[in-house]
Amino acid sequence: MRARDLAVEFPTVTLDTPALEAARLLADRDLPGLILIGDDGLPHSILPGTQVLRLAVPAYCQDDPALARVVDEAHADRFLHRLDGRTVRQCLPEEPRELPVAGPQATVLELASLMARTHSPLVAVVAGKRLIGAVTLQSLLDHALQL
Amino acid sequence: MRARDLAVEFPTVTLDTPALEAARLLADRDLPGLILIGDDGLPHSILPGTQVLRLAVPAYCQDDPALARVVDEAHADRFLHRLDGRTVRQCLPEEPRELPVAGPQATVLELASLMARTHSPLVAVVAGKRLIGAVTLQSLLDHALQL
């Protein structure tokens, strides 16, 4: 089994998508993460669900979650409002990350290695200059457990 | 809203659970991760789904997923068989990780900060010496998006 056989269509967002809309897509469709398409039509970033939270969580809280305690409950509940009126591009952290992207020939073990290494329950499958779909952790495990 | 209000019952495994059974639980129940209970009844580890893969993926492939390419397709497909006959304890990596564990009073922002920082779509909620449940990324987002 190769990546091309396991890849399924997957919703994408662009860097100009409103950040709140991206968070809503993740929640409403119960996705393991988001594929952000860059201006060249290829994956610019792949954000595991936990890293979508990083768009909204202040950096000082990520460095030390105990600091989040100084924010009162009412404001803490509304932390996603930091995304209001901002695009995904405006919320993305600066540092580049290793992208969980594989070619269509990648084996199940390659996909699993990439997921483990990048902490991403989602790998984008790219053939040449085209995104052909994504492999999720769930579909990978479902396949591997049958054998 | 506090962690105690968002926490729901969550299946757990112990360090002596067969590793393959743990992987199957994750896949069959479509869980975002696993809570491993230690000998003292408290969370010993919380493994996000991607880190459950680490139980089975050889270390050299995690260091460099390109090395996974030397394994042929038939063997790659069967990578989970490395777990055969081994318990979770026997497969766990040595290095300790920061545990995504919160108290019942933790706010939504604290939970989000912990998930972002530890790359875990799952936070265990512990009161005193007792696990009272878990908060998932999905339930956190569902709550935050309503406000």
- The predicted-structure confidence for B70-90, as pLDDT tens digits, reads as follows 899 999 899 999 999 999 998
Share of chain A above pLDDT 90, in %: 73
What count of other Cβ atoms lies within 10 Å of the Cβ of residue A125? 26
Nearest CA in chain A to B28: A142
**Side-chain half-sphere CA neighbours of A88 within 13 A:** 23
Q: Which pLDDT band, with edges at 50, 70 and 90, does A65 fall under?
A: confident
- A2-12 residue pLDDT tens: 999 999 999 99
Structure tokens at B105: 């009073």
- State the Cα–Cα distance between residues A74 and A68, nearest whole angstrom: 13
**How many other CB atoms are found less than 10 A from the CB of residue B91?**
18
pLDDT in tens, B31-40: 999 999 998 9
Q: Per-residue confidence at B22, pLDDT binned at 50, 70, 90?
A: very high
Q: Which sign, positive or negative, has the C-alpha torsion A66, A70, A73, A76? A: negative
Residue partners of A12: CB distance under 8 A and separation at least 6: A34, A35, A36, A37, A131
Q: List, for residues A99-121, the tens digit of each pLDDT value.
A: 999 999 999 999 999 999 999 99
Instruction: Domain count for chain A, please give it.
Output: 1
A136's enclosing H/E stretch is strand A130-136
What was the ipTM of the complex prediction?
A: 0.89
A122-127 and A101-102: which strand pairing? parallel
Q: Between residues 87 and 126 of chain B, which touch chain A (CB distance below 8 Å)? A: 107-110, 112-121
Q: Is B13 exposed, middle or buried (0-12, 13-18, 19+ CB in 10 A)?
A: buried
Averaging pLDDT over each range in A60-64, A69-73, A138-142, which range is the top one? A138-142
Residues of A in contact with B61 (CB under 8 A): 109-110, 112-113
Residue range A79-93: average pLDDT? 90
Chain B contact present for A69, CB below 8 A: yes
Q: In what order do the strands lie in the sheet with A130-136?
A: A101-102, A122-127, A130-136
Q: Chain B within 8 Å of A15 (Cβ-Cβ)?
A: no
CATH number at residue B25: 3.10.580.10
Where b means 16+ CB within 10 Å and e means fewer, A83-108 reads beeebbeebbeeeeeebbbbebebbb
Strand order of the β-sheet with A33-37 is A12-14, A33-37, A43-48
A117/B80 Cβ within 8 A: no
Q: What is the overall mean pLDDT for chain A?
A: 91
Parent domain of A128: 3-146
Nearest to B23 among A107, A118, A141 (CB): A141
In angstroms, what CA-CA distances link A124 with A26, A103, B1?
16, 9, 35
- Name the strands in the sheet holding B130-136, side by side, starting at the edge strand that comes first in the sequence: B101-102, B122-127, B130-136
Question: Residue B65's closest CA among A111, A95, A87?
Answer: A111
Cα angle A15, A60, B44 (rounded to 5 degrees) comes to 100
**pLDDT value at residue B94:** 73
Task: Beginning with the edge strand found earlier in the chain, give each strand of the sheet holding B43-48 in spatial order.
Answer: B12-14, B33-37, B43-48
pLDDT value, residue B65: 81
